[in-house]
Amino acid sequence: MPGYLEWSIKLSLLMYVTSAPGGRLETDGVTSDRGRFRFPLLGDAGPDDSAWEFGGSVRLFGHYGSFITELSGLRLEQQGAEATLSFRPSGAEAAIPAFRATAAAGTAERREYAPVVLRAEGVAAFGDHYRADELFDPMSVVFGG
């Protein structure tokens, strides 16, 4: 895989989804390593760019298969030390700028983002179960490996 966004989304959400009766997650074009999903980097963008798009999707279902959300069409845009992660929820016509993140550390091969915070625009995409400014798990962008 030439590059990817690595993110466990939110551990408490994944624990709920995997332990609720009838709960599950579905992936398409996404791999997982030790509980962290890897959304593949699309195109030839590299570490010198300020925006990256990622393929694949993760769909989350809660109790008795009730749909929570789908994370697909991910796009990360960095402006200085701040970044915005957008995604296109299931059924949405356009991506929403759902998260803001801070570039915490990085090398030419890997950029770390923490904290990752839900923006007001992303609350509805999670069924209003989280409030704006809710912390989600840190994420990384890995280039070339």
39-70 tens-digit pLDDT? 999 988 888 888 999 999 999 999 999 999 99
Tell me the β-bridge partners of 86. Answer: 75, 97
Delimit the domains of the chain by residue range.
3-143
Name the band, by pLDDT with cuts 50, 70 and 90, for residue 145: low
Q: CA 141 to CA 111: how far, in whole Å?
A: 5
Q: What is the mean pLDDT of residues 111-127?
A: 95
Nearest to residue 108, comparing CAs of 145, 77, 75? Answer: 145
